[in-house]
Amino acid sequence: MMSTNNMYSDEDREADEAFMTQLAAVTGQPDLFKGIDPSFWRTVDEEHVDHMTYDYERYDSDDSTGGMIFKIKDLEVKDSSSNQRLNLEAAAESSKQDKTSKARALLADTPDFKHDPDRLEKEGLMWKETGLKRGDLSPEGTEFVSWKMVRGYPEMFVGKRNGERTKEMFTIEGLHKNRIWDVYYLHQPKEIHPKPGLFVPTYQFQHLLDTINARLDINLTIPPGNNEAKFKLVFGDGNTPRPRFLGRTRNADAFKSFSGLVPRPKPEDDIKQGTEEGQAKLISVLKMIANSHKKTEKSKKNAYKRFEAHLAWGRGLKRTQCYLGLRERKTAEAIPLPSGVRFVSIDLEAWEQDQSVITEVGIAILDTPNIENIDPGENGQNWFKAIQARHILVAENTWATNTKYVKSCPESFDFGRSQLFKGNDVPEVMESVINDSPYPVVLVFHESAADIKFLQAIKYNIYEAKNVLEIIDTKHLYQYAVRSSNQPSVSTVCRFLEIDTKNLHNAGNDAVFTLQAMVGLAVKQRVESLKRARDKSVETPQTPEHHVPFAEMVEKEGWTSGGEDSDGGHPVRPAQFEMDFSPPTPAQESGSSFDW
């Protein structure tokens, strides 16, 4: 076949030859492509064009070709006398005989060469005009994706690592950077949403993913399986409404202004004009979109709760370190420390068959003035001997022992002698320890919610104790230390700190081990944070305060509490302890009246 290379520009010839060279390299069979002019597809005679059948979904758009890059196996030329036909048949026959045909097929479906992101972005500004006026019906069979799904794509379908990389690209501004959208609207039944829904053609969304993939070298796709249908919506079944053209947006401001441009519904926009089957299908589709969005919002809300919880745990740890004298109070929000603090660790045991039957109360006390001049030692173990402990047996409930889920050992208190009190007298003991303390009290629990409930069962309400500064939960201190949301036991925390334990599930022993765990976690984490601060000072001496910006806290999901220039802030009063971490109501887009 005569070469046609001299008919085209140097740039065209180089592109053609590079493509053929790559095919030869991938297959490892350079002889397979001998005799095929790499530029022959540019010379198809116009008289043969009508005889060609293309499957456009299998081709990649490429402006540099002025048409389509086709795959040899997918091009059908009906004119058997065509020279191009003969070349294609020869290539196909060779392909059948060649054991590397799978490699060529793979190359055709997933090219090794990288898409040029700049070229793709240019394409995103060059969509062919729809020819529609505002309010015109979309063509039958058009595939759409809801704008809600476009905005929610990162949260629903992108992993954490790539989600961070793509986050800015899915904001309103990011979605309109170097990109235009053809926007359509659909008046929805009021039971679904009172405002119109917005839709864009699926091929434009796919092009967005292609551009992001090329720019970031990742592989975002329309998800397969059941979720695929959410991105390839086809309307109009059973004479039900189809989306109508709203307009073409070239920037984020134009998109936001669309809120006042939606025409009023026309009679044919009423879903009831359709068949019963068509109505059911359309309502199902719209509910599917709405429910997907709700799941995204729920995910965001849960993520916000986790973020706020992690921050709260870290701040509680820093305040604990301040009370123990391990960290200075230095931020603007800090309040002066009292001359001393009393830590009171409380553990209660309840009968496994009736949780309202309290059998034991354990109390461990650490007054910080008693450790002022003592070096804490490894994980604070030098301070353990300053801990005083009490173990109370509730007289009328001594018959109730646990054997099914855990084995109780009320007779095995290892830090003193057990005491026998009637249940009605236990609140007075708690008052003498907490209400009558010479210092403000910080209550310490492991799994605070359960023990606070048990205290209420014996008629002592910590929320009425005016001497209590706040509550510290060693479960949260441990979770913050190891960056985990798993639920640890007291023994797990003690093993982490190399604290020896025995006779667990004795309330007195557990109260002591809980207080030891609090001290150990505070000391261990302070030593590690000082080491990190020293290392950071060496690397970046220009930032001696080691402040952690809020954006970094968000990125780290709250697993940081502000750097070395933060001290945890104000104590969290017990009444505030079970905090509502609901996220703030998001600000609405300016001028928005759509079901976004």
With CA atoms as reference, report the closest residue to 480 among 591, 558, 426, 421. Answer: 558
**575 in any annotated domain:** no
Least confident of 244-258, 293-307, 330-344, 568-582: 568-582
Residue that is written with structure tokens 């109260």 in the block: 511
Last residue within a domain, chosen from 98, 113, 128: 113
Give me the mean pLDDT over the 515-522 stretch. 97
Query: How do residues 302-319 score in pLDDT, each as one tens digit?
Result: 777 777 888 888 889 999
Kindly state whether residues 441 and 469 are assigned to the same domain. yes
Last residue within a domain, chosen from 217, 241, 274: 274
Q: b vs e for 448-483, b when ≥16 Cβ sit within 10 Å of the residue's Cβ?
A: beebbebbeebebebeebeebbbbbbbbbbbbbbee
pLDDT for 76: 37
Higher pLDDT, 64 or 215: 215
Kindly state whether residues 453 and 402 are assigned to the same domain. yes
pLDDT for 533: 75
pLDDT for 266: 93
Least confident of 176-180, 369-373, 453-457, 586-590: 586-590
Using the predicted structure, report yes or no on whether residue 40 has a pLDDT greater than 70.
no
Q: What DSSP assignment string belongs to 116-169?
A: -HHHHHHHTT-PPP--PPTTPBPPTT--EEEHHHHHHHHHHHS-HHHHHHHGGG
- Separation of CA 393 from chain center: 47
158 CB-near residues (< 8 Å, 6+ apart): 166, 220
**320 in any annotated domain:** no
pLDDT for 249: 92
Using the predicted structure, report yes or no on whether residue 43 has a pLDDT greater than 80.
no
pLDDT for 311: 84
**586 in any annotated domain:** no
What's the sign of the alpha-carbon dihedral 291, 297, 299, 301? negative
3-state secondary structure of 522: helix
**589 in any annotated domain:** no
Using the predicted structure, report yes or no on whether residue 565 has a pLDDT greater than 60.
no
Kindly state whether residues 215 and 98 are assigned to the same domain. no
Using the predicted structure, report yes or no on whether residue 64 has a pLDDT greater than 70.
no
pLDDT for 507: 95
- Partnered with residue 350 across adjacent β-strands are 358
The whole-angstrom separation of Cα 134 and Cα 115 is: 34
Kindly state whether residues 35 and 144 are assigned to the same domain. no
Give me the mean pLDDT over the 256-277 stretch. 89
Query: How do residues 423-482 score in pLDDT, each as one tens digit?
Result: 999 999 999 999 999 999 999 999 998 899 999 999 998 888 888 999 999 999 999 999
Q: Mean of the per-residue pLDDT values for the chain? A: 78
The whole-angstrom separation of Cα 405 and Cα 538 is: 52
Do 262 and 196 contact (CB within 8 A), yes or no? yes
Using the predicted structure, report yes or no on whether residue 74 has a pLDDT greater than 60.
no
Least confident of 6-15, 39-48, 231-240: 39-48
pTM exceeds 0.85: no
The amino acid that residue 359 corresponds to is T
Query: How do residues 226-244 score in pLDDT, each as one tens digit?
Result: 889 999 999 999 999 999 9
Using the predicted structure, report yes or no on whether residue 340 has a pLDDT greater than 70.
yes
Q: b vs e for 513-543, b when ≥16 Cβ sit within 10 Å of the residue's Cβ?
A: bbbbbbbbbbbbbbeebeeeeeeeeeeeeee
Do 358 and 452 contact (CB within 8 A), yes or no? no
CA end-to-end distance (rounded Å), the chain: 57
Cα separation values, 477 from 342, 448, 471, 529, 567, Å = 18, 12, 12, 14, 15
User: Which of 218-232, 515-529, 572-586 holds the top average pLDDT?
Assistant: 515-529
Tokens of 124: 């995103």
Query: How do residues 119-151 score in pLDDT, each as one tens digit?
Result: 888 887 888 999 999 999 999 999 999 999 999
pLDDT for 382: 96
Tokens of 311: 């921050």
pLDDT band at 567 (very low <50, low <70, confident <90, very high): confident
CATH, residue 381: 3.30.420.10
**331 in any annotated domain:** no
Residue that is written with structure tokens 């300053």 in the block: 386
- Separation of CA 22 from chain center: 40
Kindly state whether residues 367 and 442 are assigned to the same domain. yes
Kindly state whether residues 366 and 498 are assigned to the same domain. yes
pLDDT for 405: 83
69 CB-near residues (< 8 Å, 6+ apart): 59, 60, 62
Give me the mean pLDDT over the 569-592 stretch. 49
Helix, strand, coil percentages for the chain (3-state, nearest 5): 50, 15, 40
Q: What percent of the chain has pLDDT over 90?
A: 43
Do 227 and 235 contact (CB within 8 A), yes or no? no
Kindly state whether residues 403 and 517 are assigned to the same domain. yes
Cα separation values, 385 from 8, 92, 370, 452, 487, Å = 90, 86, 10, 27, 28
The whole-angstrom separation of Cα 415 and Cα 392 is: 12
**73 in any annotated domain:** yes
Query: How do residues 189-238 score in pLDDT, each as one tens digit?
Result: 988 888 899 999 999 999 999 999 998 989 899 988 888 999 999 999 99
The whole-angstrom separation of Cα 152 and Cα 149 is: 5
Kindly state whether residues 61 and 127 are assigned to the same domain. no
What secondary structure letter does DSSP report for 203?
Answer: H
Do 1 and 90 contact (CB within 8 A), yes or no? no
Using the predicted structure, report yes or no on whether residue 356 has a pLDDT greater than 50.
yes
pLDDT for 410: 93
Q: What angle do CA 401, 414, 511 make, to 5 degrees?
A: 70
Cα separation values, 508 from 197, 361, 391, Å = 62, 7, 4
pLDDT for 585: 38
Strands, DSSP E only, in 111-152? Answer: 144-146
Kindly state whether residues 94 and 139 are assigned to the same domain. no
Kindly state whether residues 52 and 127 are assigned to the same domain. no
pLDDT for 523: 95
HSE-CB at 140 with a 13 A cutoff on CA atoms is 5
Dihedral angle over CA of 418, 422, 423, 429, nearest 10 = -60
pLDDT band at 486 (very low <50, low <70, confident <90, very high): confident
**135 in any annotated domain:** yes
Kindly state whether residues 531 and 416 are assigned to the same domain. yes
Residue that is written with structure tokens 């609405």 in the block: 588
Q: Domain limits at 158?
A: 119-274
pLDDT band at 572 (very low <50, low <70, confident <90, very high): confident
With CA atoms as reference, report the closest residue to 473 among 305, 311, 317. Answer: 317
Kindly state whether residues 55 and 146 are assigned to the same domain. no
Last residue within a domain, chosen from 73, 96, 113: 113
- Separation of CA 591 from chain center: 28
Q: What angle do CA 262, 263, 267 make, to 5 degrees?
A: 130
With CA atoms as reference, report the closest residue to 376 among 201, 459, 497, 225. Answer: 497
pLDDT for 134: 95
Tokens of 131: 């020819």
**401 in any annotated domain:** yes
Using the predicted structure, report yes or no on whether residue 485 has a pLDDT greater than 90.
no
Strands, DSSP E only, in 218-367? Answer: 244-249, 342-351, 354-367
3-state secondary structure of 558: coil
Describe the crossing of helices 474-482 and 507-539 by its angle, rounded to 10 degrees: 30
Q: Centre a 10 Å sphere on the Cβ of residue 375 and count the other Cβ atoms it contains.
A: 8
pLDDT band at 28 (very low <50, low <70, confident <90, very high): low
The total number of structural domains in the chain stands at: 3
pLDDT for 335: 59
Do 384 and 375 contact (CB within 8 A), yes or no? no
The whole-angstrom separation of Cα 65 and Cα 68 is: 7
